[in-house]
A and B are shown apart, each in its own frame.
Chain A
């Protein structure tokens, strides 16, 4: 257990103001324990916490640590909807959540789940937002005003007349947030709301939450894996482990705790500082830059970190890189010897709403065997479409597209590949066993796919896609993964990085469509950045991920050094080591 609850100055201020006004806590939980129906063990154990009105609390923890269950308990879905055994007490703005159901709590607490697809129930956006008010019996005039206000607050007035099936993931997430906020709840709960969003939409959502928190006084309880995205916005962090609270305190203390107790929860900037021997650990990019500017000389390097950064050419980019394959060769990436994917003037047209739309517009791209490539870009930039076209699921409208050695594509939902109740039935015979060996699941032949962990299910789906394409130890020319890290914690991402390295090491070209810049920095040798259907940057990962604002790692944004994207590279640069963390 970490230190007792401590608050940042902002958190202390809002709590004191609220208490002076006589307001009840936004959320108070006392000795909460919960077990899902037919579950062997408890999902929550001895949880006690209190969230003051207007507080912004970040809920951290690995996968299956109990974050989602805690959020569901706070909004009444647990136990009223899911059943199970519960003990303890939960109060939401003075309402007893164990006595009142989610419908009664809806005016006091809003809930936004991870998958925006499953949290919209109406056809149009305006109908979706006004549904909670309608259920509450508000008249049309007050509904109209509430919709107008929440739409303005979330910058979505232009979406009100759209149907929900025409919205992007980011837009859908905002609509779900609007539906959660329209009743003016005192507390809003969000379960990994940015996991399906690109960095731009994710950052916008977090700062939108902060603005609502500050201007509307809404208390926020936000569960997230990518802490670097939201730690700076939080007043307080609660870390969970195996259904219990492992830490509860301010963000700065959380970083110190995570370094010592669970490094998988720490942020890249904090890891950079820790490796470089600089204290205190920063809670965000701004704090990191300020600390670097004021810090004393490091042990290994000469001069202060700030001086070293100037010597290394901080801010020398001038503008974000827009590299092309010719530049790639200059940068030392091997020339395309054995192509795994070859496109020339590739155009793909899809029908969006009721009109055709060019999703890919004249793509020229060559990916080679043995090279791990990150395919990045905003939601709707054309990443998935490119991979589906390469796999033959979509016919190009024009241009040339070849995958000389064949392709295995793992789409965004690995569960779509799992249709039987035994792993061995999915992958029978020697070919199946060979595929299971490649992904390290040969021990799970008799298991039910539903009993596997999320990471194992993903590897099984990949084995299904690869099965029969393995001749000896060879692999398909190109292995493509579409958004494989959604909802993954860092430990599982590290496993995936290792698997990608192994597949590339066996001679397959590996292309991964991802929004996760830190993950891309960890596995990719090359990054292809798509924007509105065209390639807008293509080059070594270290170049592309260090030269922008949104598609840049946290370390790159802190140090602003060309080619420095990971904490190891950054620490080496700060220590003045040659090679800046290579190898």
Chain B
């Protein structure tokens, strides 16, 4: 069974965007989660990310992230309430506990823990959207010229993790199918067997990588190669690039969100203090920033092209559209899958 966080290619703007643009967009939202403690801002951020996931077709990943995030958040709230003895509004006195001493559960500690938990949920949603929408191959490809060995390791791991998961499922099935007269199989022998099998698999995958040419010198980017070959000088025409037409949108939204968050922080939009008593500020700046964060979730929205109908565009007034096939020497070939290759 596939992980709900697994990448699934879809014809959406977020999937089509270059990894850098997607990371800039989602990274800006995650940065806001760490900059702010205001529950309103965090909820708005979570809503924005969930909206982005929904529009990008990753609703399953978002739901799984919310479930997982809540499972992480609940212990955070409980532990924070037990270990933090601050806050004016004591809800329960639990007496002396070993190691912890006097344990008082306060509303402030609960609220503080809830904000930590909320932040965890928001970050989980962001990573879920990233994982389900950003092609890991493109990320590795982008990294390869800078860190070939690390990219190789990441490639091996990214391939071997699902393979090992499938192997583990098969080994569990085989263990269940053993006759009652065969020696029982505990977790340790299964883990040993899985490890040995994974090593064999790793050797096979490494051989395949070798055959694909991975041990060659790290490939140069087209620009670096042209510079190296003397075919390009600064100021000359740029070589073929595979940027998506959606990239500027994600960069713009990411920068806008980050700038607004910094400005909002300076203007006091982060109006939340847990101790000594809960203070929740709802200044116009907080509300405006929250609204912006919710709206930032619309970034992956894609408007379908509408048919022109029966009317033919009048000569000279038709709007130019992006050419499907670039022309001229050195031009790009047909982009595949809507995202370039």
How many Å lie between the Cα of A122 and that of B7 in the bound state?
A: 12
Chain A residues positioned under 8 Å from B179 (CB to CB): 408, 431, 435, 464-469
In this complex, the interface size class of chain A, counting residues with CB under 8 Å from chain B, is 35 or more
Question: Do residues A467 and B181 form an inter-chain contact, with CB atoms below 8 A?
Answer: yes
- Which of A80, A106, A467 is B178 in contact with, Cβ under 8 Å? A467
Q: For residue B174, which residue of chain A has the nearest CB?
A: A416
Chain A residues positioned under 8 Å from B135 (CB to CB): 123-124, 127
How many Å lie between the Cα of A450 and that of B158 in the bound state?
A: 29
- Tell me if B201 counts as interface (CB < 8 A to partner A): yes
Question: Do residues B181 and A81 form an inter-chain contact, with CB atoms below 8 A?
Answer: no
Question: Do residues B210 and A103 form an inter-chain contact, with CB atoms below 8 A?
Answer: yes
- Tell me if B88 counts as interface (CB < 8 A to partner A): no
- Tell me if B263 counts as interface (CB < 8 A to partner A): no
How many Å lie between the Cα of A130 and that of B171 in the bound state?
A: 33
- Tell me if A420 counts as interface (CB < 8 A to partner B): yes
- Tell me if A186 counts as interface (CB < 8 A to partner B): no
Question: Do residues B185 and A160 form an inter-chain contact, with CB atoms below 8 A?
Answer: no
How many Å lie between the Cα of A147 and that of B334 in the bound state?
A: 10
Q: For residue A142, which residue of chain B has the nearest CB?
A: B333
User: Contacts A118-B201, A136-B216, A419-B192: A141 and B2 contacting too (C-beta < 8 A)?
Assistant: no
- Which of A80, A132, A141 is B333 in contact with, Cβ under 8 Å? A141
Question: Do residues A77 and B210 form an inter-chain contact, with CB atoms below 8 A?
Answer: yes
- Tell me if B101 counts as interface (CB < 8 A to partner A): no
Which stretch in A14-22, A161-169, A317-325 binds the other chain?
A: A161-169
Within 190-238 of B, Cβ neighbours of A (below 8 Å) are at 190, 192-193, 197, 201, 204-216, 219-220, 222, 225
**0 or 1 for each of A440-474: is its CB under 8 Å from B? (1 = yes):** 00000000000000000000000011111110000
Chain B residues positioned under 8 Å from A137 (CB to CB): 219-220, 225
Chain A residues positioned under 8 Å from B185 (CB to CB): 419
Distance between A5 CB and nearest chain B CB, rounded to angstroms? 28
- Which of B174, B213, B215, B337 is A161 in contact with, Cβ under 8 Å? B337
**0 or 1 for each of B307-341: is its CB under 8 Å from A? (1 = yes):** 00000000000000000000000111111110011
Interface size on B, residues (CB 8 A): 71
Distance between A442 CB and nearest chain B CB, rounded to angstroms? 14
How many Å lie between the Cα of A172 and that of B151 in the bound state?
A: 23
Chain B residues positioned under 8 Å from A211 (CB to CB): none
Question: Do residues B183 and A106 form an inter-chain contact, with CB atoms below 8 A?
Answer: no
- Tell me if A580 counts as interface (CB < 8 A to partner B): no
Within 141-191 of B, Cβ neighbours of A (below 8 Å) are at 141, 144, 155-156, 158-159, 162-163, 170-171, 173-183, 185, 189-190
Chain A residues positioned under 8 Å from B211 (CB to CB): 75, 77, 102-103, 106, 111, 132, 180
User: Contacts A103-B215, A427-B183, A431-B181: A81 and B170 contacting too (C-beta < 8 A)?
Assistant: no
- Tell me if A115 counts as interface (CB < 8 A to partner B): yes
- Tell me if B60 counts as interface (CB < 8 A to partner A): yes
Distance between B197 CB and nearest chain A CB, rounded to angstroms? 8
Chain A residues positioned under 8 Å from B34 (CB to CB): none
- Tell me if A37 counts as interface (CB < 8 A to partner B): no
Q: For residue A409, which residue of chain B has the nearest CB?
A: B177
Question: Do residues B208 and A121 form an inter-chain contact, with CB atoms below 8 A?
Answer: yes
User: Contacts A77-B211, A102-B211, A419-B189: A413 and B170 contacting too (C-beta < 8 A)?
Assistant: yes
Question: Do residues A134 and B141 form an inter-chain contact, with CB atoms below 8 A?
Answer: yes
How many Å lie between the Cα of A555 and that of B209 in the bound state?
A: 42
Question: Do residues B9 and A163 form an inter-chain contact, with CB atoms below 8 A?
Answer: yes
- Tell me if A30 counts as interface (CB < 8 A to partner B): no
User: Contacts A136-B216, A419-B192: A141 and B240 contacting too (C-beta < 8 A)?
Assistant: yes
How many Å lie between the Cα of A432 and that of B178 in the bound state?
A: 11
Chain A residues positioned under 8 Å from B182 (CB to CB): 426-427, 432, 435, 464-465, 467-468
- Tell me if A506 counts as interface (CB < 8 A to partner B): no
Chain A residues positioned under 8 Å from B201 (CB to CB): 118
- Tell me if A311 counts as interface (CB < 8 A to partner B): no
Specify which of A120, A130, A137, A420 lies most central, judged by the most chain B CB atoms within 10 Å of its CB.
A137
User: Contacts A141-B332, A417-B178: A103 and B213 contacting too (C-beta < 8 A)?
Assistant: yes
- Tell me if B67 counts as interface (CB < 8 A to partner A): no
Chain A residues positioned under 8 Å from B141 (CB to CB): 127, 134
Within 322-379 of A, Cβ neighbours of B (below 8 Å) are at 351, 353-354
- Tell me if A212 counts as interface (CB < 8 A to partner B): no
- Tell me if A258 counts as interface (CB < 8 A to partner B): no
Question: Do residues A434 and B181 form an inter-chain contact, with CB atoms below 8 A?
Answer: yes
Chain A residues positioned under 8 Å from B245 (CB to CB): none
Question: Do residues A465 and B336 form an inter-chain contact, with CB atoms below 8 A?
Answer: no
- Tell me if A144 counts as interface (CB < 8 A to partner B): yes
**0 or 1 for each of A170-212: is its CB under 8 Å from B? (1 = yes):** 0000000001100000000000000000000000000000000
Question: Do residues A101 and B210 form an inter-chain contact, with CB atoms below 8 A?
Answer: yes
Distance between B151 CB and nearest chain A CB, rounded to angstroms? 11
User: Contacts A102-B210, A123-B137, A137-B219: A417 and B174 contacting too (C-beta < 8 A)?
Assistant: yes
Some 13 contacts from A to B, beta carbons below 8 A apart, are A81-B207, A102-B215, A103-B214, A121-B212, A126-B336, A130-B341, A140-B241, A140-B242, A140-B332, A411-B170, A419-B175, A420-B189, A431-B180
A interface residues with partner B (beta carbon < 8 Å): 75, 77, 80-81, 101-104, 106, 111, 113, 115, 117-124, 126-127, 130-132, 134-137, 139-145, 147-148, 160-163, 165, 179-180, 351, 353-354, 388, 391-393, 408-411, 413, 415-420, 425-429, 431-432, 434-435, 464-470
What 19 new A-B contacts, CB under 8 Å, besides A118-B204, A136-B213? Answer: A77-B211, A81-B206, A103-B213, A103-B214, A117-B163, A127-B137, A134-B219, A140-B240, A147-B336, A148-B334, A160-B336, A160-B337, A354-B2, A393-B176, A416-B174, A419-B171, A420-B183, A427-B182, A431-B179
- Lowest 5 A-B CB distances belong to which pairs? A468-B181, A431-B181, A135-B213, A467-B181, A468-B180
